[in-house]
Chain A
């Protein structure tokens, strides 16, 4: 008698995919730290890390080793359980979003078709939003559990910033969703590939993309919206009391978030795994899938570079400027964009 009729091959396939995606995003996040230092250096006419290995390639490993060997300090007055939970949550939520991103089309291995997406759920974008808004708990719990005024202040700033910018982000996305009529990431990518004029969503929704981009910068706590961290005024903000690998987790989750939000942007607005000027249907499926992965990674790396570029260009926003921009600037703009898109669709599709 079979109690559980599970497709073990399917589960194995998904497990392998999860392992690959998780380790890939960890490695990319690791080398984002290196890239960030190099980008910062070249933009400031410096050389950046170049001592560990050729061109400083081993620098992330050295940094990681250092963090592991640092003394672990948990403040006496902190809430120990929550203090440890904070970085765990930050890391967990950072990793979870990668589940719904289509990393490529299908691979055919030994006669079975392997979809390069961990879960093609039909509410993909909602899932991303849900997980991203959970991300603020990592900051909030970490800041609160530290029992330190600076940390708490920073965490509160972070929470209010994320909540404010999530609104504009969501509304900007609604106008995109009205066009695509689907919440599934895979469907959105396929629609962009099969578009009449073969144009990506960014052409139809440039304003939505702009708002989304600004908001995702705020969601990732990246400069110019790095108020929760604010190393110059809040002494590293919510990770002030953290040391060793717990601090490493916080810093790391920021880079994973950056990677994932670049992936989301590339997927929603820049055709996902669609390589421009290449007709994927003409290639054999495996080659097409690989080309797709390369295309998506190229787009992601470009966005990561832009994130860094902006960070090393702009100074931090003042808190009132941040809130002004969010509530008085981006949200009305997103609403207007939504209404305009709605009117447009209604007029032309009648």
Chain B
């Protein structure tokens, strides 16, 4: 029969020779292999102390962006929710009142904006769909949580710190 791969090995069914029967050569060979492994470099990373370098295109936890004046960019158009294949994004739109111009960039804004991190597959389609540069996927991952409720992120969890009023927090979030 034709072999499917070139890695086929025939099983040797001959009875064991004396050398094989006394097991010792094979045992010693095995022991030398395990011994040599004692000095190998360990691939494990001590996680909380060390973290693995992410690739530059890593797609992590979402952030909701603000413009340079600290106003929310999101206009609750719903394109991200439509684009989302996992249906993780929920939003409710509201109209900007007079006097709220310093909070919201456009006349319409998202009163409620939630991403269910348990559903999210971090595909980045919301980022691509957004016409207002309002949602981005950052370079960190979602921290674990004890209950499901804690993994539904609302606006407070997602919005970046205000570049005018919370400079220190922003710098910290950017890792500066």
* Inter-chain contact A47/B34, CB cutoff 8 Å: no
B residues 104-123 with Cβ under 8 Å of A? Answer: none
* Inter-chain contact B33/A313, CB cutoff 8 Å: yes
* Inter-chain contact B46/A50, CB cutoff 8 Å: yes
Other-chain contact of A45, B22, B23, B30, B37 (Cβ < 8 Å): B37
* Inter-chain contact B43/A309, CB cutoff 8 Å: no
* Inter-chain contact B35/A45, CB cutoff 8 Å: no
Cβ of B51 to closest chain A Cβ, rounded Å? 16
With an 8 Å Cβ cutoff, the count of chain B residues facing the other chain is 16
CA distance A314 to B29 in the complex (A): 11
Q: Is A46 an interface residue (CB 8 A)?
A: yes
Closest to A50 in B: B46
Q: Which residues of B contact A313 (CB under 8 A)?
A: 27, 30-31, 33-34
Given A50-B46, A309-B34, A312-B34, verify A45-B27 contact (CB < 8 Å). no
* Inter-chain contact B34/A45, CB cutoff 8 Å: no
* Inter-chain contact A47/B38, CB cutoff 8 Å: no
CA distance A42 to B35 in the complex (A): 9
Other-chain contact of B46, A42, A45, A47, A309 (Cβ < 8 Å): A47
Cβ of B172 to closest chain A Cβ, rounded Å? 28
Q: Which residues of A contact B33 (CB under 8 A)?
A: 313
Q: Which residues of A contact B6 (CB under 8 A)?
A: none
CA distance A39 to B35 in the complex (A): 10
Q: Which residues of B contact A47 (CB under 8 A)?
A: 42, 44, 46
CA distance A11 to B38 in the complex (A): 47
* Inter-chain contact A45/B31, CB cutoff 8 Å: no
Q: Which residues of B contact A286 (CB under 8 A)?
A: none
Q: Which residues of A contact B22 (CB under 8 A)?
A: 329
A162-192 toward B: CB 8 Å interface, digit per residue (1/0)? 0000000000000000000000000000000
Q: Is A310 an interface residue (CB 8 A)?
A: yes
Cβ of B24 to closest chain A Cβ, rounded Å? 8
B12-55 toward A: CB 8 Å interface, digit per residue (1/0)? 00000000011100010011011101101011101000000000
With an 8 Å Cβ cutoff, the count of chain A residues facing the other chain is 14
Q: A43, A47, A325, A329 — which one has the most chain B CB atoms within 10 A of its CB? A: A43
A residues 43-65 with Cβ under 8 Å of B? Answer: 43-47, 50
Give the A-B contact count at a CB cut-off of 8 A: 35
Cβ of B49 to closest chain A Cβ, rounded Å? 10
Closest to A328 in B: B21
* Inter-chain contact B42/A309, CB cutoff 8 Å: no
CA distance A313 to B33 in the complex (A): 8
Closest to B24 in A: A210
CA distance A183 to B54 in the complex (A): 66
* Inter-chain contact B30/A42, CB cutoff 8 Å: no
* Inter-chain contact A314/B46, CB cutoff 8 Å: no
* Inter-chain contact A43/B46, CB cutoff 8 Å: no
* Inter-chain contact B42/A310, CB cutoff 8 Å: no
* Inter-chain contact A309/B31, CB cutoff 8 Å: yes
Cβ of A47 to closest chain B Cβ, rounded Å? 5
Q: Which residues of A contact B42 (CB under 8 A)?
A: 42, 45-47
* Inter-chain contact A310/B37, CB cutoff 8 Å: no
CA distance A90 to B23 in the complex (A): 31
Q: B31, B33, B34, B38 — which one has the most chain A CB atoms within 10 A of its CB? A: B34
* Inter-chain contact B44/A314, CB cutoff 8 Å: no
Closest to A210 in B: B24
Q: Which residues of B contact A312 (CB under 8 A)?
A: 34
Closest to A325 in B: B23
Closest to B29 in A: A313
* Inter-chain contact B37/A44, CB cutoff 8 Å: yes
Q: Which residues of B contact A309 (CB under 8 A)?
A: 31, 34-35
Cβ of B18 to closest chain A Cβ, rounded Å? 11
A289-328 toward B: CB 8 Å interface, digit per residue (1/0)? 0000000000000000000011011100000000001000
Q: Can you list 17 A-B contacts (CB < 8 A)?
A: A42-B38, A43-B34, A43-B35, A43-B37, A44-B37, A45-B43, A46-B44, A47-B42, A47-B44, A309-B34, A310-B27, A310-B31, A312-B34, A313-B27, A313-B33, A314-B27, A314-B30
Interface residues of B (CB under 8 A from A): 21-23, 27, 30-31, 33-35, 37-38, 40, 42-44, 46
For the A-B complex with A43-B37, A46-B44, A309-B34 known, give 13 more contacts whose Cβ atoms are closer than 8 Å.
A42-B38, A43-B34, A43-B38, A45-B40, A45-B43, A47-B46, A309-B35, A310-B31, A312-B34, A313-B31, A313-B33, A313-B34, A329-B21
